[in-house]
Amino acid sequence: MTTVTIDGKQIEVPEGTTVLRAAQMAGISIPTLCDHPELTPYGGCRLCLVEVEGARTMQPSCTLPVSPNMVVHTDTQKVRDARKFVLTLIFSERNHFCMYCQVSGGDCELQNAAYREGMTHWPLQPNWQPFAVDASHPYFVLDNNRCILCRRCVRACSELVGNHTLGFEERGARSFLVADLGVPMGESTCVACGTCLQVCPTGALIDRQSAYRGKETQVETTASVCAGCSVGCAMNVLTRDNHLVRIESNWEGPVNGGLLCEIGRFAQQMEEHERISTPLVRKNGSLKAATWQEALDVIASRVRPLSGANGVAALASTRLPVEALSAFKQIFADGLESDMVTSLEEGASTAAAFKLANEMGRPFEGKLGDLANADLVLVFDADVTKLHEVASFFFKRNLQAGTNLVVVDRNENELDRLGIPVKALRGSQAEMLEALTAAKSGQPLDIHEVKTGVPAGKLALVGELLRDAQNPVIVYGNVDGADLKSLLALAGTAKVLGVKGAANSFAGALLGLEKPFQLNGHQAVFVALGDDEPSQRLVKKLTGAPFLAVQASYASQLTAQADVVLPVQNWAEQDGHYVNLDGHIQAAHKAITVPEDVRSNAAALEDLAACLGITISGNWREQLCQRVSAAALEG
Amino acid sequence: MDVEMLEGQKVIEAVQRAVDHHGVKREELIPILSDVNRALGYIPRAAFEELSRLMKVPTSQLFSVASFYQMLSTRPVGQHVIRFCESAPCHVVGGRQVWQAVQDALNLRDGETSQDGKWTLTTVSCLGICGVGPVMMIDDDVYGNLKPSQIPEILARYADRS
Amino acid sequence: MKAYRSMVLVSNDPGSIQAGAQDVLTTLQQEIKAFGLEDEISVSTVSDVGRHDAVPMVVVYPEAVIYGPVTKQDVHYLVEEHLYKGRIASALQAPARELSGRIAWLQNRKGTLPAEQRIVLERAGLIDPDSLDDYLLHDGFVALGKALTEMTPADVIAELEKSGLRGRGGAGFPTGTKWKFVSRTNSPKKYVVCNADESEPGTFKDRLILEGDPFSIVEAMAIAAYAVGADEGIIYVRGEYTLAQERLKSAIQQARNYGLLGDHLFGTDFSFNMSVHAGAGAYICGEETALIESIEGKRGEPRARPPYPTTHGLWGKPTLVNNVETLANVPPILRHGAAWYRKFGTPSSPGTKVYTIMGNVNLTGLIEVPMGITLREVVSIYAKGMKPGSTFKLAQTGGSSGSIIPASLQDTPMDFDSFAKTGVSLGSGALLICDEETCVVDLAKVLLNFFRKESCGKCNPCRIGNQRAYEILTNISEGIGSLKDLDDLNMLSEYLYQLSNCGLGQTAGTPLRDTLQYFRAEVEAHIRLKVCPAGVCPMSGKKH
């Protein structure tokens, strides 16, 4: 610990703490622009300059580590004058006429700092050159006229996301923010994660959808969890007058640490289908509006007599909160004792892992956090770029620092160009795993080259990497039972992580909802679709079902052929919990209020249970613990 | 093979030669970029992309580095590049008049390339031969103690050189 | 080791090359071969010879006869007469004239120029810079041998501290202290870096050391590495200095072949390897942390300090960064001892300083003189006075970021402390002498133009401040300035110093400050009277 004095306050902070953080710990606020708590200190804007006794010049508090008995002044006239001068310079560099700017009036850190420092005018005459606004990107606008060259976006793109799209052109007065080789943002390698938007202190990078729709002070913020995939990113849903304005990441998120991907930040806001706002019951061949009681009665009357094995088949989307999945399971598996109660993904991404965990009697999978510390990541037939993209950020950002990446995938994988691609020309997954195992233990590889078509030299290289790595992680996708055992054997002490399907795949598996779906004389089908989209395959399978009831947020081919449709809330409208791919249980909160007729997925099922006379327990946590989990549960 | 393909081939070869010579470690980046620049006159997009692939360094970083250094060019240049020193030691011994003479002779301003692609005219901060100012370089040739009257004759030496 | 009876040097400064020096060199080599003299006579080149009236020049040792200008056609005659028959080819001798710089010194080795003293340039121009043999014949690697076999690393540092050597890169930090900082760090890997990114306009002293005596830097770096506990050295050479890069690469290779670099030097446990890293044109890379970033293959942007390179330098390891001239002082100090070194210069700034002289004087060039000589002495003795018809107006010392010195300060001794007292920086040793035809507004504009382009752009004060200052000066030079501009310029200059991240930004305002301090009336004339007293500024009344 080091003792320092800041503005007369003596405080003790850990060695290496910067003066800025030390001041913050002591409750002293120093204005900053280029600093961001999630990014490496940069020291470019100089707004945080302070006086340090004994120093020749003023010192940037964001990069200056404390030293024993340091005496710092953050609020002298000299410091205040210097801050004002720094702001004067920034305002003189480019077009900072605030009146037309999206972030003006509270959301602009530059403007806020200017108000705070009492700037009344621009002492230096601005002489800026106008730049063309880059509006080529589908989700955001880059306006270099508002850019203060603080490089938060560049650092975020590299240090957090590892995508390295943003960079700097030229130097000195000609310094300029660019994408890749100076191409328009919309044509760049940008993956549209939007992290740059969130860290930009000014209106240089703004979100198209939410522009001018509400400032920080005018919106409500609700903590939620992304339902886009099984990573389970914590996020904040910003609403105004009960309308969704935008989604921002939550820097405190235990799983994602403040990152989101395109799906999480942007895609979920797109409502492409017609909303179902009232219960529907088929009368004389067509769906007619009905009351909840009518609709539930129709379902109950058809389903109640079908108790037992081949009675009613039931399917639930794994986008549903745990509360709903649990009620669903209790109604159909426990109450009606049906033999066909499963999820829409039918256990595709979980069955093998849970079977193995149950055989082993313990969880065997690691945590997403392991990826951030890995010195070797082996991706085995897993997609971590189209889906689960945030997981890829955790290691992409470490590749330049020396983390090795091996991509074993028969198909094109977007990660190929970043690592060592291992493409099997022939043979099965089993043969590939055999080859890698042989490579790791240094056995002759000629036969494996023949079996897999992967050059022996490349196999040997991967084997060496696996042997030498201190913190290796294997990320696998679709691997079936026997092969998973081989994969685990190959891993040895390496951490193993399986990507799952939708947001609650893991919960679905824990509740046993992972059977392959098949109609076998079933007289009725119930689908808890929620805000999910039905696959063509499912629609086809259910065509001609004697009775079909669907609870859904949106109209689809499935609801069109249903006999009863129950209107339910989407991810943003209901409370609920999600269990992500590594066993983290997180809560999502209701951000938008809908009319009473649209009920939450859990409430709809609870109402159905009541109608059927089935008692269900709300203790879903207990139910999650009835099976050995593939990864230890947390939270 | 059409012209563009040839260009592409030439670029790939220049990059490969530089990488063969220096290796792909990050600390060799500036020497590699310098070699490519020397071979091609500038660093074209295809060269950045190939280097990115070979060195596993993102193109944005290659571009950020290349555009930082004055001796590396990210834009096409003319057949002959004139680099004229605009620093104080050359300036106070008549540099301005010589600079005017060069601009007049070529009808070009700082940073411009002639329409026929023959000349690129650019100012530089210092060439390190300040004892003989005013100084300029044409390609690899250094000219010192310049007087405005010498300019037409010096430029004429490059008239039929390519 | 091969011994030659004679050595011939051909000048290859830009002026000489322009006048056909390359042809002369090639022909000379052919002729010497034709006469069968190639085993008796070595041929090499010499850079900046300090005079440009009779180029290309050919200098023949040991007689030190200077021929020039020599044409390709003259070479046959010259070789036949002087090298074959042994008679001076007087028809080709350079015009007798008082000479400056190196050749002046060569001709006056007994010392008619009282104050000249060569320590770091002791061999430059005298030996074949491509020949390790030649270097060894001239006390080469004696200092390294002495350090490795007779001294502990602590002894070496102690000797350096005793000598009082201060960094010649500009800041004047005590070299021994810096070495001690690095030697005290506890790291299995340390680096020694030679800063040869001499980009300060008007400075070319390091180039002459590197081109004329490259082995001295190799030797000095090995000594430094031994003293601080490093095993790897890197010389970062300015991109434009291609000859220096080649000479250094050749020197390193030869030293390696002789076992003077590599493992177990002089039979000790000390191992040292080094390499050359070329820059690509960026003034800022002379700043030591920017230089380190550049070696690591990044944009040359200075790091935040602390931590300092002495503890967290190249690849995060303790790194000693020294300027070329600083290092060149090390072998002589070890050979002759600190007491000898302290005989030169002043008590607080011992030793010599290499100055490069430019501007409106009769002789431009380079001199190495003891610290403490005055500007007036430099101008009158070494530069042979101002050009006919012109009078001294000001001098800028130390390159673009140096101080503007008015006539009234001409008699201040040029050493670190005397200069510091008057608020003047010694800088890199560049001396730009300007006469009355120089306009201070115009000069300041040129300097600020330099900084706005050479700033790395990382920190706001430097990136924006220099641009604003340049624009204000441009307005003044167009006759559309206001008196408020002067306050703004003063404010910019002060805040550039106070707020900038590195030395570039911190010193960029120096010439601005000095101009307003010493030449305010002249600047005001541009504003109040709309007149440029020197008749230089456009004063068009139009916004540029």
Under an 8 A CB cutoff, do C14 and B125 touch? Answer: no
Q: Which residue has the tokens 């100084």?
A: B135
Give chain C positions within 8 Å (CB) of B30: 277-280, 294, 297
Confidence of residue C14 (pLDDT cuts 50, 70, 90): low
Of the residues C401, C443, C450, C458, the best mutation for testing chain B's interface (the one with the most B CB atoms within 10 Å of its CB) is C450
**Does C101 score more than 50 pLDDT?**
no
* Higher-confidence position of A556 and B144: A556
Q: Burial code of C153-176, b = ≥16 C-beta within 10 A, e = fewer? A: beebbbbbbbbbbbbbbbebeebb
**How many whole angstroms separate alpha carbon A507 and alpha carbon A577?**
10
Q: Is 60 exceeded by the pLDDT of residue C105?
A: no
Each residue's pLDDT tens digit, C80-94: 888 888 787 878 877
Say what the pLDDT of residue C63 is: 65
**Contact residues on chain C for A65, CB-CB shorter than 8 A:** 306-307
Pairwise CB contact (< 8 Å): A172 & C457: yes
More confident residue, C64 or A105: A105
Which residue blocks in C315-387 are alpha helix, DSSP H? 324-328, 330-336, 338-341, 375-377
Residues of B at the C interface (Cβ-Cβ below 8 Å)? Answer: 25-31, 33-34, 64-65, 68-72, 85-93, 124-133, 135, 141-145
Of C533 and C86, the structure prediction assigns the larger pLDDT to: C533
Max intra-chain CA distance, chain B: 53
Q: Report pLDDT digits (tens) over A561-570.
A: 999 999 999 9
DSSP string over A56-122: SS-EETTTPBP-TTEEEESSSHHHHHHHHHHHHHHHHHS---GGG-TTTTTT-HHHHHHHHTT--S-
CA distance B7 to chain C (A): 25
Asked if pLDDT for residue C2 goes beyond 90, the answer is no
pLDDT of the residue at C150: 95
pLDDT of C99 > 60? The answer is no
Instruction: Give yes or no for a contact between A136 and A189, defined as CB atoms under 8 angstroms apart.
Output: no
Which residues, 6+ apart, have CB-to-CB distance to C225 below 8 Å?
C190, C192, C231, C232, C233, C270, C272
Contact A473, A370 (CB under 8 A): yes
Instruction: Name the pLDDT band for B162 (thresholds 50, 70, 90).
Output: low
Neighbouring residues of C469: CB distance < 8 A, sequence distance ≥ 6: C448, C452, C489, C492, C493, C509, C512
Q: What is the pLDDT of residues B37-91, one digit of tens each?
A: 999 999 999 999 999 999 999 999 999 999 999 999 999 999 999 999 999 999 9
Residues of B within 8 A of A189 (CB-CB) are 58-59
CB atoms within 10 A of CB C540: 11
C460: pLDDT strictly greater than 80: yes
- Name the DSSP class of C303: P
CA distances from C36 to C10, C24, C80 (A): 19, 18, 11
How would you class A275 by CB atoms within 10 Å of its CB: exposed for 0-12, middle for 13-18, buried for 19 or more? middle
Q: Which residues of A45-76 are buried (b: 16+ CB within 10 A; e: fewer)?
A: bbbbbbbbeeeeebbbbbbbbbeeebebbbee
| A210–chain C nearest CA distance, Å | 30
pLDDT class for C51, splitting at 50, 70, 90?
Answer: low
User: What's the mean pLDDT in A446-453?
Assistant: 96
Model confidence, pTM: 0.90
- Between CA A510 and CA C458 the distance in angstroms is 52
Position C108 pLDDT exceeds 60: no
pLDDT value of position C544: 60
User: Tens of pLDDT along C372-403?
Assistant: 888 888 888 888 889 998 999 999 988 898 89
Distance CA C329, CA C307 (A): 27
Say whether B58 and A165 touch across the interface (CB within 8 A): yes
Confidence at residue C48, expressed as pLDDT on a 0 to 100 scale: 54
Span A237-266, mean pLDDT? 95
User: Quick one: tokens of C480?
Assistant: 């559309």
Q: Are the beta carbons of C456 and A171 separated by less than 8 Å?
A: yes
Lowest mean per-residue pLDDT among A398-402, C322-326, C365-369: C365-369
Nearest by CB to residue C359, choosing from B33, B93, B126, is B93
DSSP A283: E
- Do the strands A49-52 and A70-73 form a parallel or antiparallel pair, or are they unpaired? antiparallel
State the ipTM, two decimals.
0.94
Q: What are the strands, taking DSSP E only, across chain B?
A: 80-85, 119-124, 136-138, 141-143
Residues of A in contact with B53 (CB under 8 A): 417
Of C203, C281, C358, the CB nearest to B69: C281
What single letter denotes the amino acid at residue A449?
Answer: E
- What's the pLDDT tens digit per position in C242-256? 989 999 999 999 999
Residue C370's pLDDT is what? 83
- CA A518 – CA A520 distance, rounded (Å): 6
Is the distance from CB of A314 to CB of A492 less than 8 angstroms?
Answer: no
Nearest Cβ partner for A171 among B49, B53, B68: B68
Q: Where are the alpha helices (DSSP H) in C374-430?
A: 375-377, 416-421
pLDDT score for C382: 83
* Interchain proximity B68–A164, CB inside 8 Å: no
Averaged pLDDT, A605-613? 97
H-run or E-run covering C261: none
Q: Token pair of C309, please?
A: 């390179």
Distance of CA C347 to the CA centre of its chain: 23
Torsions phi, psi for B18 (to 5 deg): -65, -40
pLDDT band of residue C302 (cuts 50, 70, 90) is very high
Residue B59: exposed, middle, or buried by beta-carbon count in 10 A (0-12, 13-18, 19+)? buried
DSSP string, A292-318: HHHHHHHHHHHHGGG-STTSEEEEE-T
Residues A385 and A396: their CA atoms lie apart, in Å, by 11
* pLDDT one-digit tens code per residue, C112-163: 344 567 888 888 777 888 999 889 988 999 999 999 999 999 999 999 999 9
| Longest CA pairwise span in chain A (Å) | 90
- List the single residue in C with minimal CA-CA distance to B68: C299
**A533, A509, A259: which is closest to A388 by C-alpha?**
A259
Q: Which amino acid makes up residue A88?
A: T
How are beta strands C403-406 and C430-435 bridged, if at all? Answer: unpaired
pLDDT recorded at residue C100:
39
Helix (H) or strand (E) holding C497: helix C483-499
Location of structure tokens 């800088």: C427
Residue type, A507: A
Closest CA to A612 of A287, A298, A309: A298
- Rounded to 5 degrees, what angle do the CA atoms C356, C19, C208 make? 25
**Contact, A551 vs A331, CB < 8 A?**
no
- Whole-Å CA distances, A116 to A31, A84, A109, A126, C433: 9, 10, 10, 21, 48
Contact criterion met (CB below 8 Å) for C299 and C293: yes
Task: Calculate mean pLDDT across residues A110-135.
Answer: 92
Q: State yes or no: pLDDT of C97 exceeds 90.
A: no
Which has the higher per-residue pLDDT, C261 or C121? C261
Closest residue on chain A to C282 (Cα)? A171
Query: Does the pLDDT at position C111 exceed 90?
Result: no
Q: What is the mean pLDDT of residues C354-369?
A: 88
Report yes or no: B63 at the A interface, CB cutoff 8 Å: yes
Residue-wise pLDDT for A291-323, tens only, equals 999 999 999 999 999 988 889 999 999 999 999
Q: Widest CA span of chain C, in angstroms?
A: 75
Q: Which residues contact A262 (CB under 8 A, 6 or more apart)?
A: A139, A191, A192, A193, A194, A389
How would residue C102 be classed by pLDDT, with cut points 50, 70 and 90?
very low
Task: Please choose, from the candidates C6, C2, C46, the residue with its C-alpha nearest in 3D space to the C-alpha of residue C24.
Answer: C46
Mean pLDDT of A7-29: 96
Give the integer Cα–Cα distance in Å for A487 and A469. Answer: 17
Q: How far apart, in whole angstroms, are the C-alpha atoms of residue A511 and residue A316? A: 11
User: Span C281-289, mean pLDDT?
Assistant: 95
Tell me what the mean pLDDT of segment A30-54 comes to. Answer: 97
Q: Which one-letter DSSP state was computed for residue C203?
A: -
SS3 B79: coil
Quick check: B102 and B148 in contact, CB under 8 A?
A: no
pLDDT tens digits, one per residue of B104-130 = 999 999 999 999 999 999 999 998 888
Question: Could you say which of C457, C464, C498 has the minimum Cβ distance to residue A89?
Answer: C464
Q: Do residue B59 and residue A182 have CB atoms under 8 angstroms apart?
A: no
Residue A318 makes CB contacts below 8 A (sequence gap 6+) with A325, A343, A344, A345, A501, A502, A503, A504, A505, A507, A508, A513
pLDDT band at C107 (very low <50, low <70, confident <90, very high): very low
Q: Percentage of chain C surpassing pLDDT 90?
A: 61
* Nearest CB to C460; choose among A86, A123, A168: A86
Chain-chain contact of A45 with C499 (C-beta, under 8 angstroms): no
pLDDT in tens, A66-108: 999 999 999 999 999 999 999 999 999 999 999 889 999 999 9
Among A82-96, A221-235, A537-551, C405-419, the range scoring the smallest mean pLDDT is C405-419
* Neighbour tally for A240: CB within 10 Å: 15
What is the rounded CA–CA span in Å between residue A312 and residue A301?
12
Question: Cis peptide leading into A567, omega within 30 of 0?
Answer: no
| Band of residue C106 on the pLDDT scale cut at 50, 70, 90 | very low
Residue C386 per-residue DSSP state: B
Q: Give C146's Cβ-side CA count (13 Å radius).
A: 18
> How far from the centroid of its chain's Cα atoms is residue B91's Cα?
22
First-to-last CA distance in chain A? 32
The residue behind tokens 């040869």 is C196
